[in-house]
Structure 1
Amino acid sequence: MQIVIIAGSNRQGATSTKAAAYAGQRLAQQGHQVRLFDLHQQPLPLYSPDANSTAVEPAAALQQAMLAADAVILSTPEYHGSFSGVLKNALDFLGQSHFSGKTVLSISTAGGPIGVSSLQQLQTIVRNLHGINCPEWISIGGTQRTAFEQGGDYETHAAVFDRIHRALDTFVDLASRLQRSAAARTIG
């Protein structure tokens, strides 16, 4: 399966980007093709509906990867009860053709205990883009962030990593089922 991960932070060393990279590594170990778009490393210009977004190289690469993707992961820090502006900007470069019928898993990290507001808002956007929200999401907050800030020691942070693994398993299972269903409709 081809999976695109959009890491929606504009901060070097962001916990949300580390969580996205961890998810990508875990999925790659399972044999999936994973492409991580780190919006700190690959910044996009400010979206304008008047500009030709396919002429902007980083945006064109993101759009092409999203068209080829079977499933998507969106990862964001939670700022002021919402997801990041750089992730919103990236989503503005995309449309229904990039999300329709694809499973989407949302990840958030927050300085406080949990970052649920950003996850709820991302799920609304995914629905509007005709994507299919994974029934699980990943919220990493407060002291759980140390799992990524201090090197990701599994034994010390087993509960965090086990929760991530369960969410990724649910994500892959749903995406696989949707892929098989779409293939059966094409054949039948």
Structure 2
Amino acid sequence: MTTNLPALDQARLPARTPDSNPARFLLLYGSARSGSFSHLLVEEAARLLRHLGGDVRVFDPVGLPVPGTVPADHEKVKELHEAVLWSEGQLWCSPENYGTFSAIIKNQLDSCPPAIKGTPLFAAKPLATVQVCGAGPSYNTSGALATVGRWLGMFVTPSQLCVPMVQEAFDADGRMKPSPQYDKLVDLVDELATTTAVLRGHRAGLLEKYSQATAR
């Protein structure tokens, strides 16, 4: 559990019983630029998830090749596949580019098949979607990411988050300032953690489909 959360009011968090087997979360972000705001926001979310008792991995998209240009056993592709399989819940964050999500996060999603050797990578896992904007608020990107998540059979959390004027949302140290957007990030992360805990242990049953079953 991290205490390096200066913007968090601990007294406002719901009381929780620590889990001896931490839930596993994978966080993806949609920019390869060093110090990008989507990366900073994901790192802030990662701190909160760890504070809530989660085991968190943040995937670095730098060096991930375009799908179809390298063998399936490429080191970076294997790293991504293993992280997606490992995860129980996910958070995706992207800047808004031309009204939708970036090619960087699309490349990560396109690099993953729905299943590997019959094991689903995404289906029946909770997903939270976030976007950052350099200007006014928009939910185009978070909504588009949610659509992809639903297509993959994920449980998209009800809350979505947009951080507008994102260049003003972080301090010189790259930490998110106290703000209504920060409070909404706490809400979204807490909702993701709760949804993951509720669905934990039920994924196998949720993956069973009548249409795919054979007669017994």
Query: Within the alignment, does 1:103 sit opposite 2:126 as a pair?
Result: yes
**Range 114-123 or range 99-108, more displaced:** 114-123
Q: CA deviation at 1:149?
A: 4.7
Whichever residue aligns with residue 77 of structure 1, its letter is P
* Aligned with 2:71 (options 33, 52, 55): 52
Q: CA deviation at 1:56?
A: 1.1
Gaps in structure 2 of 5+ consecutive residues:
1-22, 115-119, 207-216
8 Å Cα contact 1:6-1:36 kept in structure 2? yes
Q: Find the aligned partners of 2:105 and 2:205 in 1 and give their Cα distance.
A: 34
Higher helix fraction (1 or 2)? 1
Aligned partner of 1:10 in structure 2 is 32
Change (3 A) 1:95 1:129: farther
Change (3 A) 1:120 1:184: closer
Q: CA deviation at 1:147?
A: 2.2
* Aligned with 1:140 (options 146, 160, 163): 163
Show the 5 A alignment for 1:97-176.
Answer: 97-142=120-165, 144-151=166-173, 152=175, 154=177, 157-176=178-197
Q: Find the aligned partners of 1:167 and 1:83 in 2 and give their Cα distance.
A: 19
Q: Deviations over 1:111-154 (max 9, x none)?
A: 12123111111111111111111111111012x54222544364
Change (3 A) 1:153 1:111: closer
Change (3 A) 1:178 1:20: same
Quick one: percent identity of the two aligned structures?
A: 23
**RMSD of Structure 2 on Structure 1 (CA):** 2.0
Q: CA deviation at 1:9?
A: 0.6
Show the 5 A alignment for 1:25-64.
Answer: 25-39=47-61, 42-48=62-68, 51-53=70-72, 55-64=73-82
Q: Find the aligned partners of 1:20 and 1:64 in 2 and give their Cα distance.
A: 19
Gaps in structure 1 of 5+ consecutive residues:
none
TM-score (norm 1): 0.87
Q: CA deviation at 1:181?
A: 3.3
Q: Find the aligned partners of 1:72 and 1:29 in 2 and give their Cα distance.
A: 16
8 Å Cα contact 1:17-1:38 kept in structure 2? no
Aligned residues: 179
Query: Within the alignment, does 1:22 sit opposite 2:44 as a pair?
Result: yes
**Range 78-87 or range 90-99, more displaced:** 90-99
Secondary structure of the 2:121 match is helix
Q: Find the aligned partners of 1:14 and 1:122 in 2 and give their Cα distance.
A: 19
Give the number of the structure whose alpha-carbon radius of gyration is greater.
2
Q: CA deviation at 1:103?
A: 0.4
8 Å Cα contact 2:176-2:182 kept in structure 1? no
Q: CA deviation at 1:28?
A: 1.1
8 Å Cα contact 1:136-1:171 kept in structure 2? no
Aligned partner of 2:99 in structure 1 is 81
Secondary structure of the 1:38 match is coil
Q: Find the aligned partners of 2:55 and 2:78 in 1 and give their Cα distance.
A: 19
8 Å Cα contact 1:109-1:145 kept in structure 2? no
